[in-house]
Structure 1
Amino acid sequence: MTVATLANIAPDTHPAPEPISGARMVVEALGREGVTHIFGYPGGAIMPVYDALPGSSLTHILVRHEQGAALAADAYGRVTGRPGVCIATSGPGATNLVTGIANAFLDSVPMVAITGQVASPLIGTDAFQEVDIFGITLPIVKHSYIIRSVAEIPAVFAEAFALARSGRPGPVLIDLPKDMAVGTAAPAPIVLPEPEHAPIDLAALAAADALIAGAKAPLLYFGGGVGIARGERALRDFAARTGMPSVATLKGLGAIPTDDPHFLGMLGMHGLKGANLAVDEADLLICVGARFDDRATGKLDAFAPKARVIHIDGDPAEIGKLRRAEVGLSGDLSAILDAFQATPEIGGWARWCAEQKRRHAFDYDAPGGGIYAPAMLKALSEAAGDRAIFTCDVGQHQMWVAQHCRFIRPQAHLTSAGLGTMGYGLPAGIGALLAEPDATVITVSGDGSIMMNIQELATIRRYRLPLKVLLFDNSQLGMVRQWQELFFAENFSEIDLSDNPDFAEVAHSFGIEAFTIDHRSEVAGAIERLIRTPGPILCHARIDPRENVWPLVPPNTPNTQMMDKRW
């Protein structure tokens, strides 16, 4: 090897980059990452970035509350698989993002949140609209940055986006002091490490294959990790190859189409009885992209008591965290599922599971003339077709959507699973429509949830987003009332919402078409109107305040002990 000398080194022909403002670096960094939409609300500390936005390739969506920005970015990230971007000013702007950041963290959604901050010399002086958003969000982000040098902005943004979408996705926060946004510098070079791809553990794979081959009653239990990894094709191939019955968590719905004959339904607290009974009888549980969450398992030490466990997850920290696995496999879910070879003999078991599914199927012929929400949702999802995306708020209607709607892909069911965020539905509908403009996006909400972010009706109107909103109004905080009825001796405390506004008139005041129904005979026409109306529309459906979600597993109870008090 020869040592180069100054004489034989060619001169650098690349000119040094010109100094530009930090705000311009932010806009250019977002463009390099392929960002097309950002959701935000301007203010003092972030104003330099807003000054740099006009003329860029970015489309800014002005929400009416910063929480709406974060939740819309969350939905955008779920649908596209790319980090959704939200932006807010310092102080209350930043703190209003916190719920949406936490929502993305608990559901492993890629997001980059950008917050303005007071100028660097003022940090720590209790300056106007100064809060330590870096410290506030530490437990609910994958990583966070405070920009200390203008030149580092491009490198920080590149690293933030890489972190948000890699491994187990999640939110990353970038706090931008105002002097860093207005200051100028030549951008520093961007250097990112090559991503690591861990090989499949062949010994663990062989052990798992042996367990599958020897199982008489294996069950596939899958969760939101499948959709995060875009592993639906591999999961479906594995299920078809083995003939294995399957159950899903709330976030897993759609990874195998819900109308697949071998799919038994959602398991857990509000799961289908056939699904919970199958888990109880299984001798092998193949857990893919799920984490043995308490809402899925019920009383953990009574969950799948006869089953050995194969746990497959993209995050090695989840394997064995709550339930010991005989075999754990971490890494690329698709590669792992494709590598399995065993095909068990399970004809009798599959027939038993199919019989449980048939025996415990829902009856939609409810008595009376009132609107029965499960039947309306089933009919709506069938009418909406394969291009439908449902975004849900939180409460009884959320569980009815999970139980009764048809999903053919995980991205068709956007719901706040880990945090249970009321007010998620409308902003999520905005994010979903901008991520997939050709989809039929339907927000299902309740009269409690919709009031949390009802101001986003203005955003829907401004951008002419054809969101279909189905609002179930029982004049109650329904899920809280149900628990007070069943577990708190009917001591109904602070759940009365009988002073609700006329929601159709509220929508009209925002310039959105709306109508009200309160009888079963009106349901078919309402569904057709929702689907066929070209622009945004809200259907206000009044339902019986005494209606409950069934089945229900009481807290700290095995999933086999399901309460079911339908007519």
Structure 2
Amino acid sequence: MKRTGGQRVVEVLRKEGVRKVFGVPGESYLAVMDAFYDHSDIEYISARQEGGASFMAEAYAKASGDVGVCMATRGPGATNLSIGIHTAQQDSTPLVALIGQVERSFKNREAFQEVDFVPFFSHLCKWTVEIDQADRVPELLHRAFHIARSGRPGPVLVSLPEDMLEDLTGDVTHTPYHVNSIQPNTESVKQAVSELSKAEKPIIIAGGGVDLAKAQPELIQIAETLQIPVVTAFRRFTAFPNSHPNYVGSLGMGAPAYLLDYIKECDLILALGTRFTQLATNNYTLLNENTRLIHVDISPDVLGKVYTPTLPIVSDVKEFTKELLKNIEPIKNQQRSYNLNEINKKYNTYSTTKEDYSEDYVDMDGMMHDLIQRLPKDSIITNDAGNFFTWLSRYYRFDQADTYIGPTSGAMGYGLPAAIGAKFAKSERVVVSFSGDGGYMMTMQEFETAVRYNIPVIAIVVNNSIYGTIRSHQENKYPGRVVGTELTSPNFAKVAENFGGYGERVEKNADFIPALERALSAGKPALIEVLTNPEILTAGQEKNVKIQTLTQ
């Protein structure tokens, strides 16, 4: 039976098991949108801006474990979408972005909204392709899904010329295909066992590969059997339960000195599914030159990119940990036990919340203490970039897999749309986004999307009327010389109400828990705006150390 190129696109999506597509409607892919009309099993989620749509799709992929799908029209729509594509690339998230394109005969004439997408997006994606023939849609689009989810997952961009989507094509037989997990080399596993057994002061760094492979149970057994402390990479908190006695903290901006010093003293590091990012390595200074490194990753391109491994192992993390468990024996070593207990004590001291409260503003230490007591343990937390994140990363303990979704790319505006995407995937879970006032205003229009689709997320907006992270950098490098970081904000709670949701402004700690209770029971998208002290920008900052708050 003859089908249009647009209909073939939707057929592929159905075969790949896609249930949600996030986008902003555009005239360049109307043929695809029309094909959705006949397939109620795929829901097109219409966002208010393409950047928000791409964040929703990226977070949906993380929460569901499936490939996320987002769509945008050519030119400005596609470039708006790029922020989520970049996030997926840095976070190793499987994502397929479908982009409308100008008609084939109009190309290379600077046609309306024309962009040459293949070179434009090539460095942001695992693969970029433009489909010029409708009969190749099934072949190339199934390949796009395969590339997005295989090896180190990531984004793939598919450009769809408008006239191609209207062409008729005959029957096709292409179907989805999956490859087996990559197994570790047997000899390499034996070498790893030997290294781990003889090391005097080893540590494990657990990265996103642990999350993607669902290897937490095996990693827990390894850490307990070998008496090794575990640290998680930047914004990879759920790679290991944070309340486990072998957990000792997370890497990233503001990582505590006790942890960085301990890692530098280690003689062996087992790195699992991590690419040693700039932030995780404290500007690439984390390891000393004498540290031996066993680096396990599914992608050979990651190995040696930052640190030269003593033992490089290309493998799916779960497959490696399963094989390692078959070969290790329990270690009873007093020095290892002592080291583990001491570093775990330091983590517990560092990460225990303080019941600090204020009548003049919301003290973030006290707010985090109250939040942790009230939220269900399986709640999903998303966040923006910003200094407010230091309270979340320091005090919130993620003890279950799939409870944290955040951008390692540091993208602002991520929190709210990510929460919406996660709630679409896990409707039974409480989903809470954290944003500063700066980041929230970048995508706050997506609160209307949540209202329109009745997605009851809770947005917590930490409002100090400052671009806090940049202000901190200003004060460190150019004290007293404030430029461009002062903000004004609307009453976010009132805006939420105007959108049709629930909103509440909290000005002191005593009012936070009641507001949270009302938000949890609202039955619709809710926002809690907390007004904080603009002179306290970072968790752990001494209350008597003030920063400049007025432009000079």
Structure 2 residue corresponding to 1:216, chosen from 200, 207, 210: 200
Alignment of 1:272-283 (within 5 A): 272-283=256-267
Alignment of 1:61-460 (within 5 A): 61-190=45-174, 195=179, 198-301=182-285, 303-304=287-288, 307-340=291-324, 341-344=328-331, 345=333, 346-362=336-352, 364-366=354-356, 368-369=358-359, 370-417=361-408, 419-460=409-450
Between 1:207-216 and 1:404-413, the stretch displaced more is 404-413
- Aligned residue identity for 2:364: A
Q: 5+ residue gaps in structure 1?
A: 1-17, 552-563
Tell me which residue corresponds to 1:487: 477
* RMSD after superposition: 2.0
Secondary structure in structure 1 of the residue aligned to 2:280: helix
The 1:374/1:416 distance shift into structure 2, 3 A limit, reads: farther
Task: Report the TM-score, using the length of structure 1 for normalisation.
Answer: 0.90
| Cα distance in structure 1, aligned partners of 2:357 and 2:260 | 27
CA positional deviation for 1:50 = 1.1
| Cα distance in structure 2, aligned partners of 1:322 and 1:330 | 16
| Cα distance in structure 2, aligned partners of 1:304 and 1:343 | 28
The 1:192/1:519 distance shift into structure 2, 3 A limit, reads: closer
CA positional deviation for 1:308 = 1.7
| Cα distance in structure 2, aligned partners of 1:74 and 1:286 | 28
| Cα distance in structure 2, aligned partners of 1:183 and 1:329 | 47
Tell me which residue corresponds to 2:461: 471
Question: Contact (CA 8 Å) 1:377, 1:400: kept in 2 or not?
Answer: yes
Structure 2 residue corresponding to 1:51, chosen from 17, 27, 34: 34
| Cα distance in structure 2, aligned partners of 1:367 and 1:441 | 25
CA positional deviation for 1:303 = 2.9
Between 1:20-29 and 1:348-357, the stretch displaced more is 348-357
CA positional deviation for 1:423 = 0.6
| Cα distance in structure 2, aligned partners of 1:538 and 1:325 | 46
CA-to-aligned-CA distance 1:424-455 (integer Å, 9 cap, x gap)? 11110111011111110001111000110111
CA positional deviation for 1:231 = 1.9
Q: 5+ residue gaps in structure 2?
A: 545-552
CA positional deviation for 1:300 = 3.1
CA positional deviation for 1:32 = 0.5
Tell me which residue corresponds to 1:42: 25
Question: Contact (CA 8 Å) 2:355, 2:369: kept in 1 or not?
Answer: no
CA positional deviation for 1:526 = 2.3
CA-to-aligned-CA distance 1:222-271 (integer Å, 9 cap, x gap)? 11121122222222222232232111122320121111122111124312
| Cα distance in structure 2, aligned partners of 1:440 and 1:191 | 35
CA-to-aligned-CA distance 1:51-94 (integer Å, 9 cap, x gap)? 11112021111101111111100001111221110111112112
Tell me which residue corresponds to 1:28: 11
Highest Rg: 1 or 2?
1
Between 1:193-202 and 1:485-494, the stretch displaced more is 193-202
Question: Contact (CA 8 Å) 2:229, 2:246: kept in 1 or not?
Answer: yes
CA-to-aligned-CA distance 1:267-301 (integer Å, 9 cap, x gap)? 24312444323313322211111122221222534
Question: Contact (CA 8 Å) 1:480, 1:495: kept in 2 or not?
Answer: yes
The 1:214/1:91 distance shift into structure 2, 3 A limit, reads: same
Question: Contact (CA 8 Å) 1:426, 1:450: kept in 2 or not?
Answer: yes
Secondary structure in structure 1 of the residue aligned to 2:445: helix
CA positional deviation for 1:150 = 0.8
Question: Contact (CA 8 Å) 1:246, 1:264: kept in 2 or not?
Answer: yes
| Cα distance in structure 1, aligned partners of 2:381 and 2:286 | 33
Secondary structure in structure 1 of the residue aligned to 2:432: strand
- Aligned residue identity for 1:133: F
| Cα distance in structure 1, aligned partners of 2:371 and 2:341 | 30
Tell me which residue corresponds to 2:452: 462
- Aligned residue identity for 2:416: L
The 1:299/1:94 distance shift into structure 2, 3 A limit, reads: closer
Secondary structure in structure 2 of the residue aligned to 1:175: strand
Alignment of 1:3-18 (within 5 A): 18=1
Task: Report the TM-score, using the length of structure 2 for normalisation.
Answer: 0.93
| Cα distance in structure 1, aligned partners of 2:289 and 2:354 | 32
| Cα distance in structure 1, aligned partners of 2:82 and 2:284 | 31
The 1:358/1:55 distance shift into structure 2, 3 A limit, reads: closer
Secondary structure in structure 1 of the residue aligned to 2:248: strand
Between 1:38-47 and 1:239-248, the stretch displaced more is 239-248
Question: Contact (CA 8 Å) 1:253, 1:409: kept in 2 or not?
Answer: no
| Cα distance in structure 2, aligned partners of 1:549 and 1:264 | 21
The 1:48/1:443 distance shift into structure 2, 3 A limit, reads: same
- Aligned residue identity for 1:37: K
CA-to-aligned-CA distance 1:523-544 (integer Å, 9 cap, x gap)? 2222322333322111010000
| Cα distance in structure 2, aligned partners of 1:245 and 1:302 | 16
CA positional deviation for 1:218 = 1.3
